[in-house]
Structure 1
């Protein structure tokens, strides 16, 4: 099957052209960020209620994505379809809410009908549009310009570049609010407890090692006792402690093998002779992903977990 057009463009050529056009439009969006963006952020920060996002057609789909981004980053938001708003859903908008309206032209019939209704309620409006002379742009409290030179569609009709610009403007608002609020990974984890992302952000070291044994030997204990402890606790490692239970080193099964290869006389070998001093440690309240990254970077498979909460069991191991 041939994919060439009348201009002999391959699918690769078309894809590269589309991406280049949209990338150029997004780059140009930087020049459209001015004091109006600051005013929009001020309105969002002052909002005592929710942020209601609305639009029609493809813009409504982008509005839904921005709602999801806002909600997951600490800005309570809700979606209202512009057409449904005219048939009862306008009840979504409460007195303390702020409304963001997305529209490429800013002059769709539903948008033109919706604007005076929202303004009569007394709610502030932020417009995200590509037409600075539209009804929406002129009636909004703040207008954010997402003008694009051309759609990626060869007929310059299907919303492509313009919806990408809307999406990026929404991301810019969300990230700006995040940083101004000091929204950290711990806050992010509260809204993402499920799936891989949630586990990375929410799972703590204490959640992972909770059932692990706690192998330990004294510095002066014999090789036989070390082997028994490692075998009994089945983690492939043991901590080495002093008489006051302070951690001074660790011995892994790999350490044992290397020692046996080098020494023939092992009767006098004690734990202190073969241990690795100053082992890598991590607190039990650290994120589990941090512990895994530490093990990967240091090419180790066991990590000593310390705790300030227990006086009897000051450490255990996390294995990878």
Structure 2
């Protein structure tokens, strides 16, 4: 067997072991999970997620997922907690403690302190009979048959399972809260993801110049208008209403037709019924419409169907909405 074949075999074995462990979780999730979710949902405090080693890293990811889906959460490192950071925990907070063995020294010190504060404790552990498992109010079992690491030492399968349980917690709470895409947008204002959820057509059209000519504007003025605005087009407007569009292509066809440029005005060469889009539509809908119609710009119109500006495909790409 070649080295490449050996690498692929190891990779496939790792995926298979972890996938089987995740699949087994479906048979393990029980009433304790439902009770834990309901307790978090009904609590007046935050979710404090703690762990040590690789479990601490998983805890940080779970905190990030909860915060982004409407459940206030804070990460607390188990080792730091017993050296002062325990002050993070407030009266109504729920503590989620992650530990594969449930018997690490730091966990054994931390758990009684949390219990003394009368905070509810949720355990995510592979060992129900561990110190953590027996002391917790709710045990979310994360059983594994083996780590993907051939030595059985490096946390691999165990951390994958912990992560999946954390996602299940976050999504269950999301469903209970009736968390919508608009709520999601409030917590993700930056980056392409947030922009897909909140950026509207008006946000793009307001950033650009607003090329505009009248029905009787001369061809020479039309050419100047298109050149100045650098969009390769201009909009023909009458009484604030869109009557047509003139593009570089329309100008080229006019020039090659042999017609006298001085005898023509905007309405003579404009394309009627151009594609428009309401300013309150989402920017991602503008992108989808441009792709569907195979065009590079749309004319934005307001609530009264008045001309409001232009959205170009470059605006969409610049904002990362692809």
Common fold by TM > 0.5: yes
Q: Which residue is equivalent to 1:10?
A: 6
Query: Are positions 1:316 and 2:309 aligned together?
Result: yes
Q: CA deviation at 1:147?
A: 0.8
| Change in 2 beyond 3 A, CA 1:115/1:180 | same
Could you give the per-residue CA deviations for residues 166-187 of structure 1, whole angstroms, max 9, x where no partner exists?
Answer: 0111112222322332333443
1:249 to 244, 249, 253: 244
Q: CA deviation at 1:17?
A: 1.3
**After the TM superposition, which of the residue ranges 214-223 and 29-38 deviates more from structure 2?**
214-223
Q: CA deviation at 1:103?
A: 1.0
SS for the counterpart of 2:150 is: coil
Q: Which residue is equivalent to 1:264?
A: 258
- Number of positions where the alignment pairs a residue of Structure 1 with one of Structure 2: 312
| Change in 2 beyond 3 A, CA 1:40/1:259 | farther
TM-score w.r.t. length of structure 2? 0.84
* Greater RCO (Cα-Cα under 8 Å, separation 6 or more): 2
| Counterpart Cα distance in 2 of 1:100 and 1:3 | 45
| Change in 2 beyond 3 A, CA 1:57/1:223 | same
**After the TM superposition, which of the residue ranges 46-55 and 71-80 deviates more from structure 2?**
71-80
User: Are 1:283 and 1:306, in contact at CA under 8 Å, matched by a contact in 2?
Assistant: yes
TM-score w.r.t. length of structure 1? 0.84
| Change in 2 beyond 3 A, CA 1:81/1:229 | closer
SS for the counterpart of 2:79 is: helix
User: Are 2:46 and 2:92, in contact at CA under 8 Å, matched by a contact in 1?
Assistant: yes
SS for the counterpart of 1:150 is: coil
Q: Which residue is equivalent to 1:104?
A: 100
Q: CA deviation at 1:316?
A: 0.8
SS for the counterpart of 2:225 is: helix
User: Are 2:299 and 2:307, in contact at CA under 8 Å, matched by a contact in 1?
Assistant: no
Could you give the per-residue CA deviations for residues 261-295 of structure 1, whole angstroms, max 9, x where no partner exists?
Answer: 4x333566554454334333333344434433432
Q: CA deviation at 1:225?
A: 4.8
Q: CA deviation at 1:239?
A: 1.8
| Change in 2 beyond 3 A, CA 1:144/1:308 | same
**After the TM superposition, which of the residue ranges 135-144 and 87-96 deviates more from structure 2?**
135-144
| Counterpart Cα distance in 1 of 2:98 and 2:191 | 31
| Counterpart Cα distance in 2 of 1:161 and 1:112 | 23
Query: Are positions 1:134 and 2:130 aligned together?
Result: yes
| Counterpart Cα distance in 2 of 1:212 and 1:290 | 18
Q: CA deviation at 1:206?
A: 3.3
User: Are 2:41 and 2:176, in contact at CA under 8 Å, matched by a contact in 1?
Assistant: no
Unaligned runs of 5+ in 1: none
SS for the counterpart of 1:19 is: helix
Q: Matches of residues 33-48 of structure 1 in structure 2 within 5 Å?
A: 33-48=29-44
Could you give the per-residue CA deviations for residues 135-168 of structure 1, whole angstroms, max 9, x where no partner exists?
Answer: 3223322221211111101022221001011011
Q: Which residue is equivalent to 2:319?
A: none
CA RMSD of aligned residues (A): 2.9
Q: Matches of residues 141-156 of structure 1 in structure 2 within 5 Å?
A: 141-156=137-152
Could you give the per-residue CA deviations for residues 92-138 of structure 1, whole angstroms, max 9, x where no partner exists?
Answer: 11101011011112222322332232222111111111122333223
